[in-house]
């Protein structure tokens, strides 16, 4: 058995009827000879390498501790693998709509918490592998490592086998003994954790007192209301777009900021456009929750070793280059605050969530939170493989990934760099946008504005990716 850590447990407890906590991983395969049978065989022969796909949740009697993973469970591929038809003409827009529908339903906790949908009917000899994996199983880094085991990278092939070990469920006594042992460890660690928290807060207070006022930066716990912030509905919408990795890197280098700074500045510009359209104003900076990994081991394929930055996004600034400058400064500030508090403090504190009442509290919050005071939006940036991967010999041309929506926040953008592309995914609910592709259009405009202001060449269309899909009425494809 394997114990859920605090962050894993929080992502499990926070799942409610309107806030699903599964993530999406979408691989586009460009090969006319690719088949569902070939994909199924690949999964079957690599299950021994994909350990988290063989985990099943086991609750502790009387909820005396967080649930555990029962490892090495048998897997019924007939249950976990599905075929889905993409409507004609089978382009990016039609695929995104299919993915949105798949994202709108939760995973069944009586089975290992994942499923794959094999999408057929796409244009230009393409197929999509749509993975729905519970966030409790894996964070962004672990998911990327897991995906690498599913694919063949740089011509190498993974070891394949039709067999994997299986185990019997634990007895009630086993679970109670494990809970007692874990609770004893928690009690022993609590004084040290409280000391670390007090030290971090004291450091942060000194840091705050020593800084001058920053009126251009969003204030913690004082997020402005926006159309993106409301009680989130159960339905999901999904949109994707692709950019040139070289052009994003060129923009960052030209402006002497980091790759992540440019992604966040692009988001600030795109969100400014959307706020002006839907709210009629963008007069205050907003806060983005930006997850950061606390364990980037290439061998880690499960668990959530993450913390988060609260980054001010200058959506109130019209000048694109000034938005870049302020975003870079905000990111630096957020990292300093994160380090002062302690990178692992958030995750360690989650260990003490009370299992009997945490799900009830999260459910109450999800139904009532219309204004999230901690964050307006979520923005992630995950570095993916630098070489093309293959599944059953078929080339993977694009990879999209996105996380979850939080209470009172109906916007999550995840950027996944893959080979020479930057693949963008945006997740929202079905009550926020007239057309979810307005959001991806706005992000492209956000980067285009920055490049224009910096005197760089216009963005180019990515020929290796699916044709772009723009919002309805704007030349949707």
Please tell me whether residue 290 adopts helix, strand or coil conformation: strand
Scan for tokens 């850590």, then name that residue.
5
C-alpha span between 71 and 167 (Å, rounded):
7
Please list the helix, strand and coil fractions of the chain in percent, rounded to the nearest 5, in that order.
35, 20, 40
Residue 171, both tokens? 């007895």
Residue 460, both tokens? 């180019």
Catalytic pick among 135, 230, 316, 388: 135
Please tell me whether residue 250 adopts helix, strand or coil conformation: helix
Cα 355 to Cα 62, 91, 331, 361, 463, distances in angstroms: 9, 44, 34, 10, 50
338 annotated active-site: no
C-alpha span between 186 and 393 (Å, rounded):
47
Nearest-CA neighbor of 287 among 257, 308, 306, 258? 308
Asked if 454 and 83 touch (Cβ cutoff 8 Å), the reply is: no
All residues at 6 or more sequence positions from 277 whose CB lies less than 8 Å from its CB, including other chains: 438
C-alpha span between 131 and 319 (Å, rounded):
39
C-alpha span between 25 and 402 (Å, rounded):
7
Please tell me whether residue 311 adopts helix, strand or coil conformation: strand
Please tell me whether residue 277 adopts helix, strand or coil conformation: helix
C-alpha span between 194 and 188 (Å, rounded):
11
3-state secondary structure 84-136: EECCCCCCHHHHHHHHHHHHCCCCCCCCCCEEEEEEECCCCCEEEEEEEEECC
Cα 421 to Cα 155, 215, 239, 333, 417, distances in angstroms: 20, 36, 16, 29, 6
Q: What is the CA radius of gyration of the chain?
A: 22
Residue 41, both tokens? 């065989």
Burial code (b: 16+ CB inside 10 Å, e: under 16) for 148-174 equals bbbbbbeeeebeeeeebeeeeeeeeee
Residue 36, both tokens? 């569902």
Q: Which residues are marked as active site? A: 135
């Amino acid at each position: 058995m394997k114990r859920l850590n605090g962050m894993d447990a929080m992502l499990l407890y926070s799942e409610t009827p309107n806030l699903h906590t599964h993530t999406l991983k979408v691989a586009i395969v460009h090969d006319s000879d690719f088949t569902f049978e070939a994909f199924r065989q690949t999964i079957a022969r690599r299950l021994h390498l994909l350990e988290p796909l063989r985990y099943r949740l086991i609750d502790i009697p009387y909820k005396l501790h967080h649930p555990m993973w029962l490892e090495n469970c048998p897997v019924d591929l007939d249950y976990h693998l599905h075929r889905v038809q993409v409507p004609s003409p089978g382009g990016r827009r039609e695929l995104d709509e299919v993915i949105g529908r798949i994202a709108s339903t939760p995973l069944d906790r009586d089975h290992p918490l994942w499923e794959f949908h094999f999408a057929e009917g796409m244009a230009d000899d393409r197929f999509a592998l749509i993975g729905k994996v519970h966030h409790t199983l894996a964070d962004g880094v672990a998911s990327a490592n897991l995906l690498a085991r599913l694919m063949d990278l740089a011509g190498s092939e993974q070891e394949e086998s039709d067999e994997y070990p299986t185990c019997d469920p634990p007895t009630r006594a086993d679970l109670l003994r494990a809970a007692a042992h874990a609770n004893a460890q928690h009690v022993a660690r609590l004084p040290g954790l409280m000391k670390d928290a007090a030290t971090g807060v004291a450091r942060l207070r000194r840091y705050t007192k020593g800084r001058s006022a920053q009126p251009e930066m969003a204030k913690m716990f004082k997020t402005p209301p926006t159309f993106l912030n409301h009680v989130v509905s159960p339905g999901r919408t999904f949109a994707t777009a692709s950019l040139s990795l070289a052009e994003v890197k060129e923009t960052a280098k030209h402006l002497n900021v980091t790759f992540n700074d440019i992604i966040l500045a692009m988001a600030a510009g795109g969100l400014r456009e959307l706020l002006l359209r839907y709210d009629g104003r963008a007069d205050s900076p907003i806060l983005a929750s930006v997850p950061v990994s606390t364990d980037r081991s290439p061998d880690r394929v499960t668990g959530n070793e993450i913390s988060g930055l609260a980054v001010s996004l200058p959506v109130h600034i019209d000048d694109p280059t000034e938005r870049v400058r302020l975003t870079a400064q905000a990111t630096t500030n957020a990292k300093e605050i994160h380090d002062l508090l302690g990178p692992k403090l958030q995750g360690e504190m989650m260990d003490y969530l009370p299992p009997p009442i945490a799900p009830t509290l999260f459910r109450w919050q999800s139904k009532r939170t219309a204004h999230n005071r901690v964050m307006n939006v979520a923005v992630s940036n995950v570095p993916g493989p630098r070489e093309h991967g293959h599944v059953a010999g078929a080339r993977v041309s694009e990879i999209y990934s996105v996380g979850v929506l939080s209470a009172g926040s109906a916007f999550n953008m995840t950027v996944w760099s893959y080979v020479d592309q930057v693949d963008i995914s945006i997740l929202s609910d079905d009550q926020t946008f007239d057309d979810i592709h307005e959001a991806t259009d706005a992000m492209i405009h956000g980067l285009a504005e920055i490049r224009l202001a910096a005197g760089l060449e216009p963005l180019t269309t990515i020929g290796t990716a699916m044709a772009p899909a723009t919002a309805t009425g704007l030349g949707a494809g």
